[in-house]
Amino acid sequence: MAKQDRAIRTRHTILTAAAKVFEARGYQAATISEILTEAGVTKGALYFHFPSKEHLAQGVLREQDQWLPVPDRACKTQQFVDTVLLHAYRLQTDPMVRAGVRLSLDQLAHGVDRSGPFLRWGEIVGELLEKAKAQGELLPHVTTAETADVTVGAFAGVQAMSQAVCEYQDLLARTSALLRHLLPSLTLPSVLAALDLTPSRGGVIFAELRPQPSEEERTPSQDG
């Protein structure tokens, strides 16, 4: 079991190093030797987990695509909003997510299948919109699959612009603005009026998802 744990830790160390190098250099310019130096592992250890740079890139793409499910909301449109704002918050704060997003948009990443995150997010957003429509929250003309595609594509553009302009510092505000412009064409006015679209909401949801400390962790030690 200890050997398996060590292998999992090594794999995570390699992926974290690869994410840092891919984000800083892009896929084409990144080298295995840079990733080895950043990770502090042997070439044998790296190739045991990832036989090539392409496999490393796919590993980073899969890691950033680990979806953090937002807690169920009675209003499915709010759950859709929360999912988008949470992803923006993670992109702003998590190097693995940033590296995966950069890879997914990197047109020079030849040989790397970059479609996974887009397709996955299209499914997630589409399912939430379908539930919102079933509950009567959306306008009658809305086609959920089309709206999901538009949302994912528009968010990709917004985050790319934020990265270019200020290294994601205004991403939460830009994402909130995107939703404020998008939702009036999708949502019943009564639903729209009740939605929380504030930029800070992504951080609030992330805190909501974090494991709560146990009673022992909350209680200060009396020793010493």
- Domain residue spans in the chain? 2-57, 76-209
The residue among 143, 132, 17 whose CA lies nearest residue 75 is: 132
pTM above 0.75, yes or no: yes
Residues 86 and 121 sit within 8 Å (Cβ to Cβ): no
3-class SS at 196?
Answer: coil
How much helix, strand and coil, in percent to the nearest 5, is found in the chain?
A: 70, 0, 30
Q: How far apart are the C-alpha atoms of 177 and 170, rounded to whole Å?
A: 11
Q: What is the CATH number of domain 2-57?
A: 1.10.10.60
- The residue among 147 and 69 whose pLDDT is bigger is 147
Long-range contacts of 165-168 (CB under 8 A, 24+ apart): 168/91, 168/92, 168/98
* pLDDT single digits (tens) 72-127: 999 999 999 999 999 999 888 888 888 877 777 776 667 777 777 788 889 999 99
pLDDT the model gives residue 66? 60
Burial of 158 per CB tally in 10 Å (0-12, 13-18, 19+): middle
The pLDDT tens digits for 7-17 are: 888 888 898 88
